[in-house]
Each structure stands twice: as C-alpha cells, then as structure tokens.
Amino acid sequence: MSTLDSLALTCIPAQDEALRAEVRAFLAQATKEMPAHLRARSWGGYSTEFSRQLGARGWIGVTLPREYGGGGRSAFARYVLVEEFLNFGAPVGSHWIADRQSAPLILKYGTEAQKRFYIPRVCRGEAFFCIGMSEPNAGSDLASVATRAVPNAQGFLLNGQKIWTTNAHHCQYMIALVRTSGSAEDRQRGLSQVIVDLSLPGITVRPIEDLSGDSHFCEVFFDNVQLGLDALIGAEGQGWEQVTAELAFERSGPERLFSSIVLFDQWLDWVRTPAGRSEAAVLLAGKVLTQLAPLRAMSVAVQQRLAEGGSPIIEAALVKELGTTLEQFIPASIADALFAAESEDLPVELLMTLKYVTEASPSFSLRGGTRDILRGMIARGLGLR
C-alpha cells in the first residue's frame, strides 16, 4: 500500500512545458494534410523523413547527454514531446524505440565506443533500433529464450529466431536478448544482450501482416551470423537485469494512455455538431475525461520518480494496466455510442479511424507485457508472491 500512497501530484516544470508551443506549431503544420485514420497509427506510424526532421530540430534523444548529440534535458522534456507527438498522431514509429529504449540502454550499459558510434546517429534520426526479446516459444516467459550467441574467436556466433519484432524490416539494428551460456533450464542466468547489425550475412527478416492489414512486426532468423566482440552490450550474463530495467522505461510513458486519443478527439468533433450530439455521447465523453485525468496525473508522477533516479516498476505496471484498459475502452465505447441509434450518415473518415483503432486495440495490452503478466508483477509488489 505504501506504493499507492507514495505518488504525489506534481506538474511538469515550466522550462520543459516551454517546449510545447514550439513542438505543437511544428506538428500542426506537419500533420495538417494527414487524414485522421493515418494519424491514429501514431507511434505505429512510420516515416524516416519525419524522423530526420525531428532529429534536425533536436527532438530525438532530448534526455541524452549533449556530448553524444542529445539534448541534455530532463525526462519531463521528453514527456512533453511524446505527449504532443501522440496527440497529434505524428508518425514517430521509426525512431520511437531507439529514442525510448535502445539509446538510453546503450548510454547506461554501453562502452564509450558504442556510445560514440550509435547515440549521435539515433539523435539525428538516422539510426533505428528494434527490440529482439520475443521468440516463438518465449513471449511472456522471456527467461526461456533459446536464440544463442556462442562466443568464438571473432566475437559471437548467432543462431536462432526472434518474432514480433516491431519494424525489424526498417531498422539497421536490433538489441537482442540471447543466451550466451547455459541452457533454458538456467532461466535468467546466462542471458546477455547483443547489438545486431541487421545487414550482416545470415539474417532474414520477414514481415508479418497483422489483422488490420498492416505489416509492422516481423520474424527475424539468424543463421550463423558472425557478430564482433563489440556486439555485447553490458556484461555477459547480465541480460536479464538489463532487460528488466529497460522494460520499466517501456511501460511508464504517455503511449500507454494516448493510443486511442486521435480517435477520441475526432469523435468529439463529431459530437460537437448537432447531428453527433446525444446524451450517451456526453456521458461517455465525461467518463473518458475523468478516467484519463487521474491516469495522466499518475503517469506524470511516475515520471517524477524516474527523474529522481528511482525505479517505480510497480507503479509503471499499474499505469500501463489501467492505461491500456482505457485505450481499449475508447474504441469499444465509441462504436457503441455511434451505433446506438438508427443508422445515420456518419462521417466516413471517423469510421475509418474507428475501424483502424478497433482492429489495433487488442495489441495495446499485449505489447510491452500482457495484462496477466503486469497483474502478476503488481501482486508481487503487494507481497502476494
């Protein structure tokens, strides 16, 4: 319970808030021509050109040190940026993972050479990363990964397969969780993280189509891929600890509240018209607003904890579980509200957005750890396990 009492209301510092106007002016212009059903993809949207533009403005890697090309700013600066990107539905998918996870991971565990090599290009929006954790037989149960990197004279010989790797087909690099020693029975022991240059011989990347017709996640096969010694990131055998820390970053951000926000805003515009307004719609609008508000307050409070150097793993899990539940509630209840009456002429663009978000919504509570896994973590935090 101390966890629950511990988060206090807080607000984003003024110097970070100050970023918002400039970012918003840029985004309003940049996304003006994009239809809402495309903006609804938000961090799933993909545009290398857009990433480069953001990089040029210093809006990627804002929390990373200046000496590596970053912005040297606080976590709240990134929070403001991300919030704006998501709410405008900016296509930030190409650099998303590098900015959120990979570059911070390299900064924390990497060698000086790795930092100098990778981070500046991430910040310019030129180097993109993907996360190679999941495998066909290791999803929730990551400790059972079977992909192996066997140490040899040149470095490591990599064999195995990853799956569900978001944007592997567009990325130059993957940070993969692999087994460097022991066997699956050793569970967390013997796991390491390696940086894999996806252009190396022996690598096959095959996109998988999702149920909405998009192809963002992939299968990746490693067939005798020779990695250099410098592929290892962090210490050998420390992969599990590193991955756990990385996941806390992945779970706490605004992307766990705002995946359906483009749809919600677009629907509100319809409800603001006489034809779209109904009693049920007013109540639904209020229900979503009054659920989103405490969630945002919680998410900002978790951010504060991260900024203080804490590791609010349980709090982040709470936010993600509640947040993705609301993200899934939004398309479901908007559909109900729109079709509660006799069929009307509804705006087609709104229905297209609704279709996309409805079809994408199962993934909200899968990516980054399933609902059951998060509940298990919370239960552990409550002392039940």
Partner 1 sequence: MNETDMFADAARAVLADRCTPGVVRAIEDRGLQAPEARALWTQLEATGLADAMLEEDRGGAGLGLAQAFGVLEQCGAHALPLPLGETMAARAVLDQGGQPQSGQIIALATGRLLADGGVHCAMVRSAHAADAVLVQVGSECRLLAVADARSAVQARAEDAALDWSAAQVQAAPQVAMAAGVDMRTLQAALVAAQMAGALGSVFRRTLQYANERQQFGRPIGKFQAIQHQLAVMSEQVFAARMAAQLGGTPPGGSGEGLQLDRLRVATAKARCSEAALAVAETAHAIHGAIGFTEEYDLQLYTRRLHAWRQTAGSESYWHRVAGEGLLQHQGLTLDLLRRITDVAPAH
Ligand X SMILES: Cc1cc2nc3c(=O)[nH]c(=O)nc-3n(C[C@H](O)[C@H](O)[C@H](O)COP(=O)(O)OP(=O)(O)OC[C@H]3O[C@@H](n4cnc5c(N)ncnc54)[C@H](O)[C@@H]3O)c2cc1C
Question: So which residues are the catalytic ones?
Answer: 250
Which of 372, 379, 380, 382 contacts ligand X by CB under 6 A? 372
Is there binding between residue 90 and partner 1 (CB under 8 A)?
Answer: no
- Give me the least distance between CB of 144 and ligand X, in Å please: 10
Is there binding between residue 328 and ligand X (CB under 6 A)?
Answer: no
What tokens does 45 get?
Answer: 């949207």
- Give me the least distance between CB of 209 and partner 1, in Å please: 32
* Partner from partner 1, ligand X, none contacting 229, C-beta within 5 to 8 A by type: none
* Identity of the residue numbered 172: Q
Is there binding between residue 200 and ligand X (CB under 6 A)?
Answer: no
Neighbouring C-beta atoms of residue 319, cutoff 10 Å: 27
Is there binding between residue 133 and ligand X (CB under 6 A)?
Answer: yes
State the residue for tokens 């567009």.
Answer: 170
Piece of the chain touching partner 1 by CB under 8 A; list 111-119, 154-162, 188-196, 268-276: 268-276
State the residue for tokens 């405008």.
Answer: 88
Which of 52, 148, 296, 355 contacts partner 1 by CB under 8 A? 296
How far is the C-alpha of 212 from the C-alpha of 363, rounded, in Å? Answer: 11
Which of 15, 140, 154, 244 contacts ligand X by CB under 6 A? 140
* Partner from partner 1, ligand X, none contacting 275, C-beta within 5 to 8 A by type: none
Residue 69 vs 254, nearer CB to ligand X: 254
Given its phi and psi angles, is residue 18 left (phi above 0), alpha (psi -120 to 50 degrees) or beta? alpha
Which of 194, 243, 281, 313 contacts partner 1 by CB under 8 A? 281
Is there binding between residue 318 and partner 1 (CB under 8 A)?
Answer: yes
SS3 category, 300: helix
Residue 143 vs 307, nearer CB to ligand X: 143
State the residue for tokens 């403001």.
Answer: 80
Piece of the chain touching partner 1 by CB under 8 A; list 107-115, 141-149, 212-220, 260-268: 260-268
SS3 category, 9: coil
Is there binding between residue 114 and ligand X (CB under 6 A)?
Answer: no
Is there binding between residue 164 and ligand X (CB under 6 A)?
Answer: yes
Nearest CA among 253, 263, 254 for reference residue 358 = 263
Residues 29-88 that bind partner 1 (CB under 8 A): 83-84, 87
Q: Contact at 8 Å (CB) between 38 and 89?
A: yes
* Partner from ligand X, partner 1, none contacting 321, C-beta within 5 to 8 A by type: partner 1
How far is the C-alpha of 293 from the C-alpha of 308, rounded, in Å? Answer: 23
Is there binding between residue 308 and partner 1 (CB under 8 A)?
Answer: no
- Give me the least distance between CB of 277 and partner 1, in Å please: 8
Piece of the chain touching ligand X by CB under 6 A; list 272-280, 314-322, 351-359, 365-373: 365-373
Angle between helices 261-271 and 75-88 (to 10 degrees): 50
Which of 294, 332, 349, 351 contacts partner 1 by CB under 8 A? 294
DSSP codes of every residue in 77-139: HHHHHHHHHHHHT---HHHHHIIIIIHHHHHHH--HHHHHHHHHHHHTT---EEEE--BTTBS
Neighbouring C-beta atoms of residue 339, cutoff 10 Å: 12
Neighbouring C-beta atoms of residue 322, cutoff 10 Å: 18
What tokens does 230 get?
Answer: 């410098």
Nearest CA among 368, 324, 373, 316 for reference residue 166 = 368
Name residue 176's beta-bridge partners. Answer: 132, 194
Rounded to 5°, the CA angle 153-158-159 comes to: 135
Neighbouring C-beta atoms of residue 52, cutoff 10 Å: 16
Piece of the chain touching ligand X by CB under 6 A; list 31-39, 100-108, 246-254, 371-379: 371-379
Residue 349 vs 372, nearer CB to ligand X: 372
Interacting residues toward partner 1 by CB under 8 A:
1, 3-5, 7-12, 83-84, 87, 258, 261, 264-265, 268, 271-272, 277, 281-287, 289-298, 300-301, 318, 321-322, 372, 374-376, 378-379, 382-385
Interacting residues toward ligand X by CB under 6 A:
130-134, 139-140, 164-166, 217, 363, 366-367, 369-370, 372-373, 376
